[in-house]
Structure 1
Amino acid sequence: MFTASIGVGQAAETIKFGHVGQPGSLMDKTATEFAKRANEKLGDEAEVRVYGSSQLGSDTQMLRKLKLGTIDMSLPSTVMSSVAPSFALFEMPFLVNDREHMARIRESELISGKLEDAAASQNYKILGVWENGFRNITNNERAISSPDDLRGVKLRTPNGQWRVRMFKSYGANPTPMPYSETFVALQTGAVDGQENPLAQIYPARFYEVQDYLSLSRHVYTPAYVLAGASWQRMAEDVRKVLKETAQEMQPVALEMGAQLDEDLLTKLKDEGMKVNDIDRQSFVDASTPIYDQFESDVDDGEAMIKEVRSLKDE
């Protein structure tokens, strides 16, 4: 328990925690549960307040605000590849087999060493690694079974150069834009499709403006619990609670993600989306150039890939 350190009438410190997820998304559920657990421990010392639905800006804008210290925490995923090249490890297609594999990766030195150090070099601190999830493709042109089916499809992607490179290599026409702008772009036909975890697709109601859902699971994106410039200004006991609770939430996020995938697939089918599986091997074969480029462009890229693959069948 914290001892009271706040005078009468003095407000507890507010910790602003932003993310881009819609209500009901995995980001929303994990951030809300984190805040509940942390606030119970913090008592009157401080209060975590969650701002979802891009209220505090896009992922890129929130990264800037973390550096300035105008917000305290955020939950970025793909955009981390713009922070440091090593984060593009999780841009490699079909690298993470399942959540058990991801749990082993999370406990490895790839996270506690390589990625935490990369974040620290840009003045960010990773408090924990949660989940955005396995990404799937929706569009209005056709069911996507092989890379050939993506040819000419205008596909919204997050702001990350590796995702753009990957879909270009498959023949699509990738168009990076903020998540918050995606629904209108799909509705107006500015883009034909997008790719996201089911836990983002359903809460954003993309089923209202998309016909096809192809269960590609082409990339697994972690969500990083990230702090910035304000971290060192927080009381040590507050930092301890936030860090411990972020770590405590790591297996919970995976469990929530697995349950949401199951529940939301049923709901998306009920909403009338035409659902299909992909020819996974055809995509794996088409992904060789992106691996070659990663291993060539990123320091220790080949070693990181080997490390992840070595953790598949433990």
Structure 2
Amino acid sequence: MKIKAVILASVASIVMPLAASAADLTLRFGHVGNPGSLFEASANAFAECANGKLGDRAEVQTFGSSQLGNDRELLQKLKLGQVDFSLPSSVMSSVAPEFGVFEMPYIVQDRDHMRRIQAEVGDTFQEAALAEGYRIIGYFENGFRHITNNVRPINVPEDLKGIKLRTPNGEWRVKMFQLYGANPSPMAFSEVFTALQTNVIDGQENPYAQIASAKFQEVQEYLSITNHVYTPGYVLVSENRWQALPEDVRADLEACGSETQDFVYDLAAKLDEDLLQVIRDAGVAVNEADQAAFVAASVPIYEEFANTIDGGAELIERIRKLASGS
């Protein structure tokens, strides 16, 4: 009996640490997307890919709707090791100035253009992220953004004069809408619906996938199709946490960051069509804005970025040259 007890104790001493280790390798992916959003579908697709590859070595669990915090809080929690992945978009311009180039109006023409940017200029953004303690392991998207509000249709920039417009927490988006004449108000995404409903703000700007999943069509009268900014989404990790993961786990996660991109882009393109109709069907008045007028009004913000950000002019030029695939 004593021998059996010793054997059982020995087995327990081996098995229990293994079980604890497996539990410790639960990887939490936090994001701000609501149910039905592109962010939710993207994070879930990444988790499905990762869990299929990882088997019993680790498990990725997703938490949407800002359950683990808003974008800024998630960035901090990555650093603290409280979250393993997040999916920031516009907020990255406040992490490193290089990401502000994606805040330049109309600089990204389409998703194929974004693929070329990733391939040819991606090292610039990875280095900028690493310098701040983060690593990008995949490029997803938040999409092409449009303006909704309760005051008037927006056809040209002058129509934004005096409109209280929610923007993400990024200095260049604020500068852009100030330039257009709006009264921009940075605010966490999770707070926007209530702010619109209570008239704290008049409007907001987001891709269709965020507008529809957050049900902004229930509290907005006008949608103006502007396509003013395309915002990439970044599958982001803390570099310290990343280096602490086993090499084989890192390889599988990085592969899923790449492999899931096609799914994200295909779904995003489909949602661009389907969700516009959902918003129309809710009774929102839809108009096509004069994009040429917005492009013309955007010249000063390009000049400011080029003149104030180290390497800004070169970065703009490199991205513009890739628009035609040259």
Instruction: Place the TM-score, normalised by the shorter chain, in its bin.
Output: over 0.9
Displacement after TM superposition at 1:254 (Å): 1.1
> What is the aligned counterpart of 1:117 among 111, 127, 133?
127
- C-alpha RMSD of the superposition: 1.5
Query: In structure 2, what is the Cα distance between the partners aligned to 1:138 and 1:164?
Result: 16
Matched with 1:38 is 50
1:57-206 matched pairs, under 5 angstroms: 57-108=69-120, 110-111=121-122, 113-206=123-216
CA separation of 1:161 and 1:10: change in aligned 2, threshold 3 A = closer
Query: In structure 2, what is the Cα distance between the partners aligned to 1:300 and 1:114?
Result: 10
CA deviation map 1:64-117 (0-9, x unaligned):
111111111100000001111000010000111111211211211x11x11000
Greater CA drift, 210-219 or 304-313: 304-313
Amino acid at match of 1:216: T
Query: In structure 1, what is the Cα distance between the partners aligned to 2:187 and 2:90?
Result: 12
CA separation of 1:148 and 1:9: change in aligned 2, threshold 3 A = closer
The answer to whether the aligner puts 1:265 opposite 2:276 as a matched pair is: yes
Displacement after TM superposition at 1:299 (Å): 1.1
Displacement after TM superposition at 1:7 (Å): 3.6
- Residue ranges of structure 1 left out of the alignment (5+ in a row): none
Displacement after TM superposition at 1:9 (Å): 7.7
Amino acid at match of 1:304: L
> What is the aligned counterpart of 2:59 among 42, 47, 51?
47
Displacement after TM superposition at 1:251 (Å): 2.2
Query: In structure 2, what is the Cα distance between the partners aligned to 1:187 and 1:92?
Result: 29
CA deviation map 1:3-43 (0-9, x unaligned):
x9x84686441101010000111100010011011101111
Normalising by the residue count of structure 2, what TM-score does the alignment of the two structures yield? Answer: 0.92
Considering fraction of residues, name the structure with more helix.
2
Matched with 1:278 is 289
Query: In structure 2, what is the Cα distance between the partners aligned to 1:192 and 1:231?
Result: 41
Identity rate of aligned residues, in percent?
54
Normalising by the residue count of structure 1, what TM-score does the alignment of the two structures yield? Answer: 0.96
* Runs of 4+ residues deviating >2 angstroms: 6-12
Matched with 1:223 is 233
Amino acid at match of 2:282: E
Amino acid at match of 1:66: L
- Residue ranges of structure 2 left out of the alignment (5+ in a row): 1-14
